[in-house]
Amino acid sequence: MPSHDPARRAVITGLGAVTPIGNDHPTFWANAKAGVSGGGPITHFDASNLDVRIAAEVKDFDPATGMDRKMARRMSRFIHFAMAAGKEAVADAGLDFSDWTPEQRDRAAVVVNTGGGGLEQVIDGHVTTETRGPRFVSPFAIPALSGSMAACLLSMEYGLTGPVQTQVAACASSVITFLDALRMIERGEVDVVIGGGTEAPLLKMGFAALSNMGALSRNNDDPEGASRPFDKERDGFLFGEGGAIMVIETAEHALKRGATIHAELVGAALTADAFHISAPEPTGRGAAMAMRKAYQDADLAPDEIDFVVAHGTSTPLNDVTETKAIKAAFGDHAYKLAVSSPKSMVGHLLGGAGAVAAAIGIGAIREGVIAPTINYHTPDPECDLDYVPNEAREARVDAVMVNGFGFGGQNAVAVFKRFEE
């Protein structure tokens, strides 16, 4: 149950994003409201021998946005995204750490989760070892592939000496960030958390493996229309990259410094399907339990949730199962909810997906605009909720639920609401 003590309430004061539809938060949010697709042909490498030749790539991104060029050359792309989004979030929050005391820095945490980290370092390092020899392998390869390095570098950037952590939970990873941030603040461990998720998984091997699994859309002729969550003709997800970082702090800390509060983080929960390494449990029991636990943790009744930012992957299995789970968790109120999937626009960002979804939900609270599920044309009888099809909707939104479900049956849910003193 959320605390009424402002020293134990968690609020969002800063937003940053790097996504296939915008390399900063304002551009991302404007394009999300406009229903812009980030899909296109793969440009990162020659995909001509792959069955899937489309992706949601981050475009025209300069790694120097978040770090100096020398360090950027040494580090992996997922770190580049986190540093750029992290700096944007800190600036948006109006935080200046330069005059913080050591004691203040001890009470600031960094939590940046990812599903894979710098996997390109493993592939590139192996190729270099075999073709050029061991002495040509980068001495920075191990730090650069480490999933925790994005969080570590953000802590170094600002000299923050509180907890620094990374959890790897596949596609649920960055929703778990919010649970960890909330618990740190509720326990009184920290005053500020820089937190979110990031992923740069667009590697040839990854496309091959996921295509062989049957997880990816093969709609190569229409990359912008390939991601079709909840549509009857969906055939898999659009592989994407990017992420989002936020500043989460105690309400007391935010109010004292006159910060703009975008939303309050009020609840979160985790459950497991204990069913399969990649498929969701068909009844949606675990996902439904996570949703119930999350709104209970937030001390909200189910009918107080206005909007669910769905996991909504555009795979045949997930979208039916998630629909069942929402109905099980909300009962009759499920049919009154707005449910939309940002993956229709940005693709599936794996460990970055949940943080980007949270940015969609927070935007709805701030501006009263619910971003749409685009490419929704053919209703599926098994997916019969209100998916906000194709066009954004103006509506007052007071409470939002964000779903993130990962391979292995990992179910993570976070709840945000409008802040009131």
Residues annotated as part of the active site: 171, 311, 348
Assess contact for 359 and 346: CB atoms under 8 A.
no
Report the Cα–Cα distance between both ends of the chain, in Å, rounded.
17
Q: Which residues of 58-85 are buried (b: 16+ CB within 10 A; e: fewer)?
A: beebebebbbeeebbeebbbbbbbbbbb
Beta strands in 106-240 (DSSP E): 108-113, 164-165, 192-199
Q: Which amino acid is at 152?
A: C
SS3 content of the chain, % helix, strand, coil (to 5): 40, 20, 40
| Residue 259 in tokens | 């910060």
399-406/393-394 β-pairing: unpaired
Residue in the structure block whose two tokens are 């994003």: 17
Distance of CA 4 to the CA centre of its chain: 27
Owner of token pair 């778990």 = 176
Q: Tell me how far apart the alpha carbons of residues 350 and 199 are, in angstroms, rounded to a whole number.
A: 7
Tell me if 43 sits within 8 A of 166, measured CB to CB: no
CA atoms within 13 A on the CB side of 259: 29
DSSP-derived 3-state class of residue 162: coil
**Do residues 344 and 375 make contact, with C-beta atoms less than 8 angstroms apart?**
yes
Whole-angstrom CA distances from 180 to 296, 305, 403 are 17, 22, 15
User: Which residue, 105, 115, 140, 114, is CA-closest to 125?
Assistant: 140
